């Protein structure tokens, strides 16, 4: 082992590996290692300029006592003679690499298992390596964040987490520990992390560098502030989008859109934005309206703008072989490449290859087409669907971008896709950029991304999972997060059980970042507009999905909660401002606001909407009361104003027209 101080960074070299530990913001380290001659130079999610404080580096000892230590404020790292790193917060160990090799005098490391802390294996035929990094497990630790996973567990300790993007799964690899530290796996490679009881294991299937960032603090709020300080924060969210967004699968003509907008106006319900969903186009990749059904998009947008309604339009990254853009884009190398077999990455409603947004030329090409066919007509925003991308088969090893093998960088795809639009829209200066995406990665919050939870089932079980997922997304630095109210996949809109689910989901959505109606509503008994197998008229549409579509009783409840949302707009504006200032999410785990309360670290079926409102969603069919834990302090039930003392559980009524919410006094 060889140690040296290189301008305030600790360099450790052993057996062909170079390890670099350096200060990266207050009480924080960036830790990198490589088996190559030089580091790749990629900053990935660490995009922000940060101060690199002066740190203390000490190299001492001989033989098995040879070690180096580096200290940056409250965080310290010690690297021993075998290259094993131990991290300390205020001189107390909180994280240590896992090493089980024979030899040495340190008891934890004296084993015959031949398991090392950082295992590199060359990818055959390539310049990348697979990387396996292990840490000792901490007894009693709770782990949160990491993005969005469709499971019932918010505490990820004991979970295996795939580091890959899929429809409804979003890898944002930042974790918050109950032990007072946060860790960003600053690597967009496909892989997995296992937060086991015996050890933690991070795997990148194809990479050139190990790269992670660590910070320590006393509260989750301070951890998130530090994390978003190095990866970026969400911009200011426009007040004119804090109300209702109206969407369904799918408005097929501009007449349908205008009819819905005018009815909302007649009903006295202001919608902030209306969404034009997929297959309004000729074929995928043309990125333009089928003029048979959308004869004058600009006139439609102008009319909607006069009503104070913004308009967002769906764009997919898939390009059909029949598209007018397929030939030019394929010829210029602007599409994803396959390593073997046919050039196809997506097969829904067409033989498609998806765009390669890592290529700056691709970003320019797609923007110019979408600017001409949408933005120049006055459209306000883009719904960037299928942004994982949604591969026909998730065989990541078969795809390649201009950045490199998909295995090495695919998790960053949705962020690069969003920048096709964000970078140009920001430069054009038409106001704050707010686009809607189905996926994101670490740092996506700075690119104007509202991220929703994908095509999830319309069940109470899925509803429960979405709330847990949204809370973890917030802890991964993504404050602009939402869901399809009622879930996406519905067999029968007339089913009273579904309608009850819809109401319970809608009540939750009022107390979330973005209030948005959407869903694929069955049964599919509406005939298509066209007999052709392409164009804007052939694909099916779902049943109506407006507030009045589910009966008068439910409409009355929805209007009541719509009014609650509008009345909260001043408060919601303060939450969005806080997100842009310190990274705080709008929906927050209980422990985010009450980190000293041990009970709050156990709760995932209730949450805080900002610092004022405690929200207790209803997750079961037919449930008409529920138990709620109130932390210390005074609380007021919003249904009747009754005051409660905190520090205990209370049981409250939950009739169908009320979801329990307590206001902090």
Which positions are annotated as active-site residues?
A: 385, 388, 455
90 — phi, psi (to 5°)?
Answer: 50, 45
246 — phi, psi (to 5°)?
Answer: -105, 130
Strand, helix or coil for residue 650: strand
CB of 48 closer than 8 Å to CB of 230: yes
Q: Both ends of the chain: CA-CA distance in Å?
A: 58
Q: Of 221, 130, 105, 172, give the one whose Cα is nearest residue 578.
A: 221
For 79-140, give the secondary structure using H, E and C: ECCCCCEEEEECCEEEEEECCEECCCCCHHHECCCCECCEEEEECCCCCCEEEEEEEECCCC
Strand, helix or coil for residue 495: coil
261: alpha, beta or left, given left = phi > 0 and alpha = psi -120 to 50? alpha
CB of 608 closer than 8 Å to CB of 615: yes
CB of 78 closer than 8 Å to CB of 90: no
Integer Cα distance of 362 and 329 in angstroms = 8
Tell me whether the omega of the peptide bond preceding residue 253 falls within 30 degrees of 0, making it cis. Answer: no
Integer Cα distance of 489 and 7 in angstroms = 56
DSSP 577-593: HHHHHH---SEE-HHHH
384 — phi, psi (to 5°)?
Answer: -95, 80
CB of 563 closer than 8 Å to CB of 188: no
DSSP 512-542: SS-EEE--EES---SPPS-SSSSSTTTS--P
CB of 352 closer than 8 Å to CB of 320: yes
Burial status of residue 342 (CB atoms within 10 A of its CB: 0-12, 13-18, 19 or more): exposed
How far, CA to CA in Å, does 623 sit from each of 504, 505, 608?
10, 13, 21
């Amino acid at each position: 082992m060889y140690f040296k101080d290189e301008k305030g960074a600790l360099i450790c070299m052993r057996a062909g590996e170079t390890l670099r530990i350096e200060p990266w913001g207050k009480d924080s380290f960036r830790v990198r290692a490589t088996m190559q001659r030089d580091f790749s130079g990629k900053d990935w999610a660490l995009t922000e300029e940060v101060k690199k404080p002066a740190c203390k580096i000490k190299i001492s000892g001989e033989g098995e006592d040879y070690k180096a230590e580096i200290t940056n404020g409250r965080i310290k790292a010690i690297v021993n003679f075998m290259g094993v790193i131990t991290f300390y917060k205020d001189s107390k160990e909180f994280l240590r690499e896992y090493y089980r090799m024979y030899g040495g005098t340190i008891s934890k490391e004296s084993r015959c298992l031949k398991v090392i802390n950082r295992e590199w294996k060359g990818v055959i035929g390539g310049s990348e390596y697979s990387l396996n990094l292990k840490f000792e497990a901490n007894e009693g630790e709770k782990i949160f964040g990491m993005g969005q996973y469709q499971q019932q567990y918010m505490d990820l300790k004991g979970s295996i987490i795939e580091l890959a993007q899929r429809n409804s799964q979003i890898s944002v690899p930042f974790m918050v520990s109950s032990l007072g530290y946060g860790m960003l796996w600053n690597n967009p490679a496909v892989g997995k992390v296992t937060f086991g009881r015996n050890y933690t294991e991070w795997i990148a299937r194809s990479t050139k560098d190990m790269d992670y960032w660590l910070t320590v603090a006393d509260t989750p709020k301070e951890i998130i502030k530090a994390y978003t300080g190095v990866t970026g924060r969400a911009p200011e969210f426009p007040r004119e989008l804090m109300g209702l967004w109206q969407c369904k699968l799918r408005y097929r003509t501009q007449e349908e859109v205008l009819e819905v907008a005018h009815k909302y106006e007649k009903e006295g319900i202001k919608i902030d934005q209306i969404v034009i969903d997929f297959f309004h186009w000729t074929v995928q990749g043309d990125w333009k309206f089928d003029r048979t059904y959308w004869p004058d998009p600009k006139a439609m947008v102008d009319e909607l703008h006069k009503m104070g309604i913004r308009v967002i339009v769906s764009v997919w990254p898939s390009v059909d072989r029949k598209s007018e853009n397929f030939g030019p884009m394929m010829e210029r190398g602007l599409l994803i490449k396959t390593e073997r077999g046919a050039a196809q990455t997506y097969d829904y409603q067409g033989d498609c290859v998806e765009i390669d947004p890592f290529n700056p030329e691709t970003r320019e090409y797609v923007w110019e087409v979408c600017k001409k066919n949408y933005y120049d007509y006055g459209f306000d925003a883009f719904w960037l669907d299928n942004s994982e991308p949604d591969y026909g088969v998730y065989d990541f090893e078969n795809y390649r971008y201009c950045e490199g093998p998909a295995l090495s960088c695919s998790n960053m795809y949705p962020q690069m896709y969003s920048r096709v639009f964000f970078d140009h829209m920001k430069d054009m200066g038409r106001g704050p950029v707010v686009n809607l995406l189905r996926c994101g990665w670490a740092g996506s919050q700075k690119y104007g991304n509202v991220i929703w939870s994908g095509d999830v089932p319309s069940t109470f079980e899925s509803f429960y999972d979405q709330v847990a997922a949204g809370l973890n997304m917030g802890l991964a630095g993504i404050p602009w997060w939402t869901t399809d109210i009622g879930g996406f996949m519905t067999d029968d809109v007339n089913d009273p059980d579904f309608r009850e689910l819809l109401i319970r989901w809608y009540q939750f959505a009022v107390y979330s970042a973005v209030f948005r109606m959407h869903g694929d509503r069955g049964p599919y008994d509406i005939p298509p507009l066209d007999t052709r197998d392409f164009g804007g008229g052939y694909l099916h549409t779902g049943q109506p999905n407006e507030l009045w579509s589910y009966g008068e009783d439910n409409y009355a409840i929805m209007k009541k909660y719509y009014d609650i949302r509008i009345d909260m707009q001043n408060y919601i504006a303060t939450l969005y401002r806080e997100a842009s200032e310190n990274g705080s999410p709008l929906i927050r785990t209980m422990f985010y606001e009450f980190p000293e309360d041990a009970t709050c670290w156990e709760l995932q079926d209730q949450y805080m909407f900002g610092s004022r409102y405690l929200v207790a969603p209803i997750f079961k069919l037919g449930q008409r009361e529920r138990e709620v834990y109130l932390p210390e302090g005074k609380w007021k039930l919003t249904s009747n104003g009754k005051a409660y003392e905190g520090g205990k559980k209370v049981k409250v009524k939950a009739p169908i027209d009320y979801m329990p919410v307590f206001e902090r006094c």
